[in-house]
Chain A
Amino acid sequence: MRVPPGVSPGDFAAAIKQFEAAVGKEWVFTSDDDVDLYRDSYSPFWHEEEDRVPSAAVAPDGVEQVQAVVKIANAYKIPLWTISTGKNLAYGGSSPALSGSVVLDLKRMNRILEVNDKNHYALVEPGVSYFDLYRYIQEHKLKVWIDPPDPGWGSPVGNSLERGGGRTPMRDHFGAQCGMEVVLANGEVMRTGMGALPNSKTWQQYKYGFGPYVDGMFSQSNFGVVTKMGIWLMPEPEAYRDGTVMVPAHDDLIPFVETLSFLMNSNTVRGTMLLESPLLSYRASQGGGFLDMPGGPSVEEMNRLGKEKNLPYWSAELHFWGPQNVIDAQWEHTKEKFSAIPGATSKDGRSYKFPLELKETEDAPRVALGIPNLSVFGLVAGGQGHMDFSPIIPMTGEAVFEVLKTYGQAYAELGVAPKNQFFVLPWAFFPRSFVLLFGFPIEHNVENNKKNREVFKRLVEVSAEHGWGEYRTHVAFMDTVAGVYSYNNHALLRLHETIKDAVDPNGILSPGKSGIWPKRLRKAKA
């Protein structure tokens, strides 16, 4: 049996026994077969010593059991790694940052406590998946939509806490959360926002409550165990439509993104969009890459190729949800705005009225219509996994050009071949900025993974040099990413550490999460 670092086998055995007493023997897992299920199936350390492996897992069924587990962990200084449904694939799955941690698996806490379709919110436990919530709403015929992320088997609580994104106007999942219940490291239950008021009537309707608004502290963090969370939902819209806008030449990107930014910041265009390049996609299909590699084709050559093949240099599919007359007017206005760019064209896309017939959902952009599914895994079919490199960049054409050049240069220096340059153009998952999502391949090949880890670290560094930072990362790179958020000698991390020491003096909650280590495991900062 594995033992958490710094814990004696005797103490660990005693703790396990107490965990069993708290949650039932069948909900404490220590056999290799069971514990292996909590390893990261997309681990970048496949077949390597550094692979993060838990020592055990414990699955409570309710807040009192979570409190009991936390109190036991404090008594024996057992590191707990909290997961909701453990589907954080590409960012670490269900595996801990610190090998030997005990996974605190909240999957059994899967109660949907309330869904309100007059004020449009839900209150759920961490083990509830997007599928669970979707089915519940369908069964009860409630007039609300959920906003699933691409794979729908994960937890709304977990995804919001990791600050993930979806596709509809409610796409900023942390932004859509309202009210939490948290078990602190000392085992105390706390409610945030209006939930601090006993029998509150607005726990899911007003976020801030009175006094310091602490909810954000519990996101991407190890300051507490969130046991309930409120989520704002979108009223079922009357209709959906999408349409594509396109511009012909390289430099058109500047006014193109400026127009997008204006429309998004005005709330005329809502939801998530992806910047695309039919021309660069064509080049990639011919064995080239998306990035500007030294010695690659010039802008003039690419512009010429675009003209020759009749391919727009840049395009974006935009999405509209709402009453039919309103979304028609929004699309009209959008086309008008883009028509100020010479050569801009547009094309109408799909159109739906809700509720949909089952048959209609087959070809529909289901995630954008609030229907969870797992089809995203089709993207990576045949692969052995992936992890995401995801820096935030400004929502400007200039920034996109700088990105293409910067990462092209970095790949050239690292000798990464075009076909391995896992790169897509930026997304607007969050308001007001772009995020890049590079899908890095994970393989069951130690050498390839080592090389990829080197590339990953270099990209983090190069990004930081340009003022770009990651919004989220795989557990393997949390220290690396936290390390570049170093303003004033890591002042923010030191603030996190001060809070960590105050609220979790024994350092039992998710050590190493987002680069925050408890005192006893903290390394001196460079």
Chain B
Amino acid sequence: MRVPPGVSPGDFAAALKRFEEAVGKEWVFTSDEDIDTYRDSYSPFWHENEEPIPSAAVAPDGVEQVQKIARIANTYKIPLWTISTGKNLGYGGSAPLLGGSVVLDLKRMNRILEVNDKNHYALVEPGVSYFDLYHYVQEKGLNVWIDPPDPGWGSLVGNALERGGGYTPMRDHFDAHCGMEVVLANGEVVRTGMGALPNSKTWQQYKYGFGPYVDGIFSQSNLGIVTKMGFWLYPPPEAYLSGNVVVSKHDDLFALVEIFANLMNSGMVQATTTVVSPLAFARPDAELAAARASGSTRDLEQYAARKNIGYWSVSLPFYGPAKVVAAQWEHAKEKFSVILGVKFQDGASYRFPLDADQLAKITNPVPFGVPSLQTFSIGGPRSQGHMWFSPIIPMTGEAVLEAQEVFAQVYRDLGSSNSASAAFPVWNFFARAFVIIYFFPIEHDVEKNKRNREIFRRLVKTSAERGWGEYRTHTAFMGDIMDAYSFNNHALLRLHETMKDALDPNGILSPGKNGIWPKGLRKAKA
């Protein structure tokens, strides 16, 4: 049996016994077969010793049981790694950062406590998946949409705490949350926002409550265990309309992004999309290969013109009343028409609700509030996994070009062939900035993974030199990323550490999460 670092086998056995008393023997897992299911199936340390493997897992069924576990863990100084549904694939899955941690698995806490379709919100436990909530809403015939991320099997609570994003106007999942219940490291239950008022009538309707608004400190963090969370939902829109804007010249990107930012920040476009280069994605024939090799923008532009391929394009999603979305698309076309040679293509158009037949014809239903697992086809049938490199860059054409160039250079420097600039797609998962969501393959090949980790670290460093930082990362790189956020000798991390020491003096909650270590495990900062 594995044992958490710094814990004696006797203490660990005693702690497990008490965990069993708290949650029931069948909900404490220690066998290798059971533990293996908590390993990261997309681990970048496949077949390596560094792969962090938990020592056990414990699955409570309610807030009182969570409180008991926290108290037992404090007594024996057992590190707990909290997961909701454990589907954080691409960012570490359900595996801890510190090998030997006990996974605190909240999957059994899967109660949907309320869904309100007059004020449009839900209150759920961490084990509730997007599928669960979707089915509940469908069964009860409620007039609300959910906003799933790409794979819908994960937890609303977990995704929002990791600050993930979806596709509808409610796409910023942390921002869409309203009110939390949190078990602190000492086992106390706290409710935030209006939930601090006993029998509050607005826990899910007003975020801030009175006094410091603390919810954010429990996101991407190890300062507490969130056991309930409220979410704002979107009233079902009447219609959806998309329109594609295509421009023909390299330098049109500047105006394209500037107008796009104006439309987003004006609330005309409210949902997630991506700015892409159809040209960069084009299958290379001899002509295109030559144009690419020449590095001449003019050659590329001419090729694109001949083949009628856009140099850049952005697809605009509109949600709302049919006449409003039509007016928004009209307005967008007016705005973009200042770009010489711009072309517009009407895209998909729907009226809601969709019936089963219509839904079945839609390849990707996620932007219509319907969870799916279709995204897992992304790596192809033989994929062994992936992880994401996801820096935030300014919403400007200049920044997009700079990022393409800088990151492609990293690949060239490291002798990788995967350097097509198109491989760095920019998304607007969040308001006011772009995020690059770059796919890293994981393989069951030690050498290749080593190489990819090297590239990953190099990209992080290069980003930081340019003033770009990642919004989220795989557990394997949390220390690297937090290190880059080093303003004034790591002042922010030091604040996190001060809070960590005050709220979790024994350092039992998710050690190492987002680079925050308890005192005993903290390394001296460079």
Given contact pairs A202-B393, A330-B324, A487-B198, A499 touches B502 in the complex (Cβ within 8 A): yes
Separation in Å of the A334 CB from the closest CB of chain B? 9
Chain A interface size, as a band, is: 35 or more
Q: Considering only CB atoms, which chain A residue lies closest to B469 in the complex?
A: A197
Q: Does B276 contact A (CB under 8 A)?
A: no
- Any chain A CB within 8 A of the CB of B12? no
* Shortest CB distance B362–A (Å): 22
Q: How far is the CA of A486 from the CA of B211 in the complex (A)?
A: 12
The answer to whether B214 and A495 have CB atoms under 8 Å apart is yes
Residue B125 at the A interface, CB < 8 A?
no
B216 within 8 A of A: yes
CB of B119 within 8 A of CB of A202, answer no
Chain B contacts for A499, CB-based, 8 A: 212, 214, 499, 502-503
Query: Cβ of B502: which chain A residues have Cβ within 8 Å of it?
Result: 498-499, 501-502
For B491, give the chain A residue with the smallest CB separation. Answer: A190
B235 within 8 A of A: yes
Query: How far is the CB of A437 from the nearest CB of chain B, in Å?
Result: 14
B211 near A322 with CB under 8 A, answer no
A268 B221 Cβ-Cβ under 8 A = no
* A120 beta carbon closer than 8 Å to chain B: yes
Q: Hey, which chain A residues are within 8 Å of B324, CB to CB?
A: 268, 326, 329-330, 333
One of A206-214, A244-252, A361-369 at the interface: A206-214
| A190 and B494 alpha carbons, distance in the complex (Å) | 9
Q: Residues of B contacting A396 with CB < 8 Å? A: 118-119
| CA A470 to CA B191, docked complex, whole Å | 16
Report chain A residues within 8 Å CB of B192: 492
Which residues of chain A in 351-395 are interfacial with respect to chain B, using CB atoms and an 8 Å cutoff?
392-395
CB of B481 within 8 Å of the partner chain: yes
Write the B460-499 contact mask toward A (1 if CB under 8 angstroms, else 0): 0000101111111100000001101111100111111011
Number of interface residues of B (CB under 8 A): 103
Choice from A198, A326, A491 contacting B328 with Cβ under 8 Å: A326
A285 at the interface (CB under 8 A from B): no
- A473-B210 contact given A120-B261, A201-B467, A498-B503, CB 8 Å threshold: yes
State whether the Cβ of A481 lies closer than 8 Å to any Cβ in chain B.
Answer: yes
| Pair A199/B197 contact, Cβ less than 8 Å | no
Q: Are A211 and B201 in contact (CB under 8 A)?
A: no
Question: Complex formed: what's the CA distance from A205 to B395 in Å?
Answer: 8
How far apart sit A261 and B120, CA to CA, in the bound complex (Å)?
A: 9
Bitwise, B161-201 to A at CB < 8 A (1) or not (0) is: 00100000100001000100000100011111011111111
- Given A217-B217, A329-B327, A332-B323, does the pair A487, B191 have CB atoms closer than 8 Å? yes
**Bound Cα distance A392, B178 (Å):** 14
Interface window among A41-49, A91-99, A230-238: A230-238
- B220 A395 Cβ-Cβ under 8 A: no
Is B495 in contact with A491, judged by CB distance below 8 angstroms?
no
Q: Which of A119, A215, A467, A498 contacts B261 (CB 8 A)?
A: A119
How near does chain A come to B32, taking the closest CB pair, in angstroms?
33
Chain B residues lying within 8 Å of A207, measured Cβ to Cβ, are: 430
With a cutoff of 8 Å between Cβ atoms, the chain B residues found around residue A212 in the complex are: 216-221, 223, 496, 499, 514, 516
Partner of A234, one of B194, B266, B328: B266
The stretch that binds B, out of A9-17, A81-89, A133-141, A218-226, is: A218-226
Closest to B191 in A: A487
B205 touches A432 (CB 8 A): yes
**A80 contacts B by Cβ under 8 Å:** no
Q: Which residue of chain A is the closest to B486 with respect to CB atoms? A: A198
Bound together, the chains give a CA A261 to CA B204 distance in angstroms of: 14
Which residues of B sit under 8 angstroms from A270, Cβ to Cβ? 267
Query: B326 near A: Cβ within 8 Å?
Result: yes
A436 to chain B, nearest CB (A): 12
Inter-chain contacts of B262 with A (CB < 8 A): 120, 235
Q: Report yes or no: B197 in contact with A469, Cβ–Cβ below 8 A.
A: yes
Contact present for B488 and A322 (CB under 8 Å): no
Q: Which residues of A contact B235 (CB under 8 A)?
A: 262, 265-266
C-alpha spacing A191/B494, complex, angstroms: 12
A495 near B184 with CB under 8 A, answer yes
Interface membership of A77, Cβ < 8 A:
no
**Also in contact, A118 and B258, with CB within 8 A (given A163-B208, A394-B202):** yes
Shortest 5 CB-CB distances between A and B: which pairs?
A213-B216, A216-B213, A502-B502, A514-B211, A467-B201
B residues near A (Cβ < 8 Å) are 118-121, 163, 169, 174, 178, 184, 188-192, 194-202, 205-221, 223, 232, 234-235, 237, 258, 261-262, 265-268, 270, 320-321, 323-324, 326-328, 330-331, 334, 392-396, 399, 430-433, 464, 466-473, 481-482, 484-488, 491-496, 498-499, 501-503, 514-516
Query: What 20 new A-B contacts, CB under 8 Å, besides A197-B467, A232-B265, A333-B324?
Result: A118-B396, A190-B488, A191-B488, A196-B492, A200-B469, A201-B399, A201-B467, A205-B394, A212-B223, A215-B216, A217-B212, A218-B212, A235-B262, A430-B207, A432-B119, A469-B200, A485-B210, A488-B190, A492-B214, A495-B184
